[in-house]
Structure 1
Amino acid sequence: MQPFGLRDSSGGGRILRALLQEAPVPFLSICTSVRPPAPPPFGREVHLPPRPYFGRIEATRFARYLRWIAEWRRPAFERALERTILEAGATAIHAIPHGEAFWQAFQVAERHGLPYFLNVHDDMRYNLAGHPKLDFLMDRLAYVWQRATGRIVISEAMGEAYCRWFGRLPYEIVTDGLPDELPEAPRPRPEGRAVVYFMGALHLSYHPNFRVLAEALDWLRARRPDWEVTFVTRGSRTPVRPRTVPVQELPYAPEAEVARDLDRVDVLYMPLPFGEQYCWFTRYSLSTKLVTYLGSGLPILYHGPADAAAAQLLARYGAAVQVHELEPDALGRGIEQALEARDELVAGALRLARERFRLSDQRARFWKLLAGVPVEASTD
C-alpha cells in the first residue's frame, strides 16, 4: 500500500515495479493517491483515495484546504481500507509511509494479527513538510518502527538514523536494482566531445544547480572551443539554458529507451539540492537515478552537499567526481575531471553496482523478509 500506482514515473513506482515483477507470491497493490493511477503494467491494483480528486484546484493555493476533506472522510476511508485488505485475503501488509495511510494500515494489521512491513523511501519531514499532522505522524512512525514485523529502508544512512531516533532494530536495505550482466569497462567516448546528460524529474529544489550547470557548460565551451559540448535532458525541461551550448530536451520514456540514451552521452549529471531545508531528503534518501547511473559504464558527476547519503556512498567507492559548491568554474572543472578519470570512476561505480545494487539481490532480500520466500540471488 502506497500513495502512487505501479506505473508511476517516480522513484517509488520504479522500485515497486522492479521488486514486484515476477513476484513469487500473489499481491494486491493499493494506491492511496487522490489522483487515479494509470493502469498497472502487471499484477492487481486498486485505487482507494482518502478524498475525491478536484482536478485543476489541486495545483492552486486552495489545495491545502482539501486536507480537511480527507480528515472529514477519514472514518469512511479506514473502513474501506480494512475491507479491501480483508477481502483480498491478505497474509501480510507492506506500506510506504508517505502519508497517514501507513498508520491506518498498521491498525488493520494489529486488529487482525497480520504481519506488517514498513518500507521507508523518504523521511516524512521532507515529503510532508508543512503538513498539519506532521508531528503526530512522526510519533506514529516511531511507534510502527518499534512494532513492525520487519523494516526496510532505502539507504544505510536512513537505517542508522532511524535506529538512533526510534530504537536499534534489524532492517533491510532495498531499492531499485540492476541486471547481473553489467559492463566490464567504460563505454567508448569519441575524442573532442562532452555530452552531459540528466534524466528524471527536475524538482524546483534543483534549479540553483541547473543555473550553475548552464554557466559551467558555457565556461567549458569557451575553455575547449574545439570540443562538441552538448546538454541532454530526459524527462524534464531545463529551467536555464546555456548561452553557447545546445540543449536537447527529450520526453519521459521507459527504462529501455533511457538505456539507449546512454550509448550517445559522455558524463552523467547527478544533482542534489543545497540548503538545510532539504537535509531530511539529501542525508537519508537515495535516488533511483543513481542506481541507473552506476550501471551505465559512464562517469558520474555528483553536484550536491557533501553530507548527503549519495555523496558518502559514492566517495566510499571512488565512483564519481564530486562538486560540493554552486560555482560554475568548479562544476566545469568537474566535467573535465569526469572525462579524464573515466576509467577509474567507472571501475568504482561498477564495483558499487555489483556489490550493492543487483536486482536479483534486492528481490531476494525483499521477498525473504516479506514472505519467507527464497528467491535466487547472485552469489559471485
Structure 2
Amino acid sequence: MTDATPYPRVLVVGAEPFGRTTGTGITLSNLFGGWPADRLAQVHISATAPSTDVCRHYYALDPRSAPVDYLVRRLIAKASAGGVPEPGSGSAARPWQGRLRQHMRTMADLSPLVVPQELRRWARRYRPDVIYSVLGSVRVMRLACGLARTCGVPIVPHFMDDWPSTLYADGELFDFGRRAVEAGLRKAMQLSRSGLCISAPMADEYRRRYHIPFAPFMNCVDSAAFDGYREGNGPPASVPAEGGVEFVYVGGLHLGRWASLARIASALERIGPPRPPARLTVYAPERDLTRYGHVFADLPAVRLARSVDSTEVVPILRGADVLVHVESFEPDLARYTRLSLSTKLPQYLAAGRPVLGHGPADLASMRHIVTAGAGLVVGEQDVEQLTRRIEQLCEDPLLRQRLGDTGHSYAKVHHSRQEVAAEFASHLARVAGTAGEARW
C-alpha cells in the first residue's frame, strides 16, 4: 500500500479474533495487513487469545453476556468429550445424537444476547467509520447490527461461503432457526451500502439476491510467497526419496473432503510402470488426522503428515510436484461450498505448482482453477477419469511446468497482497464515505 491509500476507521465484529490458524483468520489478517494501528479494532465473542500482529485493539465479549448460549455450549462440549463421528466417516454414529446437537446449537445461537453498556461506550469512543463483519451466525448478526446502530455507521458484510442458504436449513427448532437467519440477514442488509464476497460467482449471485452491490475479495498472498520462482523452471523442489511424483494436499479433511482425497488415493494405486510412481502426502490439522486417519489406513499411496503452522506452508507447497484441492460431492456439502474459494488456492497458484482439482465442476473453486489455467479438474466421482488425469501429470513434466507457470502468473495479477489489500482499503473507504447518509 502507498501513503495515498485511504484507511477508514474499521471496527471488525466476529466470532473469532484475528489469527493464522483458520481460513477466515488468515484471509482477514492478509487483507488488513499493514492497516494503521489506530484505525483497526475488533469485537469478538470467542475466548481465543487474539493475535496482535495485525490488530491491537480488542474487546472480548464475555460469553456470559449470552447466558443460555454459554450454558448450552458447555453442555455440548462436555457431551463431545469423547468425539462424535461425522456421518459417512466410516465410524459408528447415532443419528439422534447429531440431530440433538443441531437443535442445541441452534437454541444457543438464537438465545438472548446482552450487549453491555461498557461495550457500547467503548465502540462510540473508538468512532468507527464502518462495521466490517463476516457474520456467519444469528448471534454475530445481532451484535454487528446493534453496534452499527450504536455508532451510526454502515455494515460491510463479507461472505466467505454460502451459509445464508444453508444455516439451519434442516428445520432446526421447528424452523425457528431458519426464520431467525432470514430476519437477521434482512436487518444486516438494511444497514449495508455494499457487501463483499469470497469469489466473483458469489458476488454476482448476491447482487441479485440482496439488491445491493457486492465486490469479490478473497485471500491474498504476500510477496514472499512469490520469491524464488524461476519462470520456466519453477521454484526449487525437493525430490522424494523414492524418485516419484509428489502430490501434496494442505488443508482440512472435514466437510467431506476426506472422501474426495480417498478417491484420489485409489486412483494413485493404479499408477504403475512405465510411469513414475506417485504418492499423496496430506498435511491436515491434528484433530482431522485423528478423526479421519483410519480412512487412509489401507491406501499405501497416502502418507499422513503432521499438522503445519502457517509459516511452514510456502516451503511445503514449493516442495510438491502437484498440489491437490478437493471438495465434497455430497449434495448438502456441495451447496455450502459451491460459491466459496479456499484460502489455500491463491497460495497454491503463487507457488507455481500445477493443481489437481477434484470436486463438483460447477463449484467456484474448481472453476477458478480452470480460469487461472493452473491445473486439471476432475468434476465427477470417476476413478477412471481421475486415473487418466493423474497419469497425464505424472508422465508429462512439461505439462506440469506449463500449468504451474500459468497459475503463478495469474496469482501475481489477481492475488498479490499489495494490490488486493490496497483495493480492499479503498473499497472500505468508499463505503465509509456514505456513512453520513446512514445515521440510524
Pick one of 11, 18, 36 that aligns with 2:30: 18
Q: Is the Cα contact below 8 Å between 1:78 and 1:104 reproduced in 2?
A: no
Pick one of 267, 284, 290 that aligns with 1:235: 284
What is the distance in 2 between the residues matched to 1:128 and 1:266? 41
Determine whether 1:37 maps to 2:81: no
The alpha carbon displacement at 1:243 in A equals 4.3
Match of 2:222 in 1: 179
Pick one of 91, 116, 119 that aligns with 2:129: 91
Question: What TM-score comes out, normalization by structure 2 length?
Answer: 0.75
Pick one of 151, 159, 182 that aligns with 1:112: 151
What is the distance in 1 between the residues matched to 2:222 and 2:105? 42
Q: Which amino acid aligns with 1:13?
A: G
> Which string of whole-angstrom CA distances, capped at 9 and with x for unpartnered residues, describes residues 5-59 of structure 1?
21252210111111223213532222224xx213314223333234325143366
Aligned length: 367
Indicate how the Cα distance of structure 1 residues 106 and 200 shifts in structure 2: closer, same or farther if over 3 A, else same.
same
Match of 2:336 in 1: 281
Q: Which amino acid aligns with 1:40?
A: S
Q: Which amino acid aligns with 2:250?
A: M
Q: Which amino acid aligns with 1:314?
A: I
Determine whether 1:261 maps to 2:304: no
After the TM superposition, which residues 104-183 of structure 1 pair with which residues of structure 2 at under 5 Å, given as runs?
104-124=143-163, 125-126=165-166, 128-130=168-170, 132-145=176-189, 147-167=191-211, 169-180=212-223, 182=226, 183=229
Q: Is the Cα contact below 8 Å between 1:286 and 1:309 reproduced in 2?
A: yes
> Which string of whole-angstrom CA distances, capped at 9 and with x for unpartnered residues, describes residues 149-199 of structure 1?
3311111111111112121x3322212111346233434665951111111
Q: Which amino acid aligns with 1:2?
A: G
What is the distance in 1 between the residues matched to 2:322 and 2:356? 7
The alpha carbon displacement at 1:90 in A equals 3.1
Indicate how the Cα distance of structure 1 residues 166 and 115 shifts in structure 2: closer, same or farther if over 3 A, else same.
closer
Q: Is the Cα contact below 8 Å between 1:214 and 1:242 reproduced in 2?
A: no
Match of 1:376 in 2: none
What is the distance in 1 between the residues matched to 2:338 and 2:110? 31
Q: Is the Cα contact below 8 Å between 2:31 and 2:424 reproduced in 1?
A: yes
Q: Which amino acid aligns with 1:46?
A: Y
Q: Is the Cα contact below 8 Å between 1:267 and 1:300 reproduced in 2?
A: yes
Which is bigger in relative contact order (C-alpha 8 A, separation at least 6)?
Answer: 2
What is the distance in 1 between the residues matched to 2:125 and 2:294? 47
More divergent stretch after superposition (233-242 vs 249-258): 233-242
> Which string of whole-angstrom CA distances, capped at 9 and with x for unpartnered residues, describes residues 203-222 of structure 1?
141132122122112112xx
Indicate how the Cα distance of structure 1 residues 8 and 177 shifts in structure 2: closer, same or farther if over 3 A, else same.
closer
What is the SS of the residue equivalent to 2:279?
strand
What is the distance in 2 between the residues matched to 1:335 and 1:235? 22
The alpha carbon displacement at 1:233 in A equals 1.4
What is the distance in 1 between the residues matched to 2:137 and 2:109? 12
Q: Is the Cα contact below 8 Å between 2:355 and 2:369 reproduced in 1?
A: no
What is the distance in 2 between the residues matched to 1:78 and 1:338? 58
Indicate how the Cα distance of structure 1 residues 81 and 188 shifts in structure 2: closer, same or farther if over 3 A, else same.
same
RMSD: 2.8
What is the distance in 1 between the residues matched to 2:190 and 2:406? 36
What is the distance in 2 between the residues matched to 1:212 and 1:71? 39
What is the SS of the residue equivalent to 2:308?
coil
The alpha carbon displacement at 1:351 in A equals 2.7
The alpha carbon displacement at 1:80 in A equals 6.6
Match of 1:360 in 2: 418
Match of 1:378 in 2: none
Q: Which amino acid aligns with 1:57?
A: A
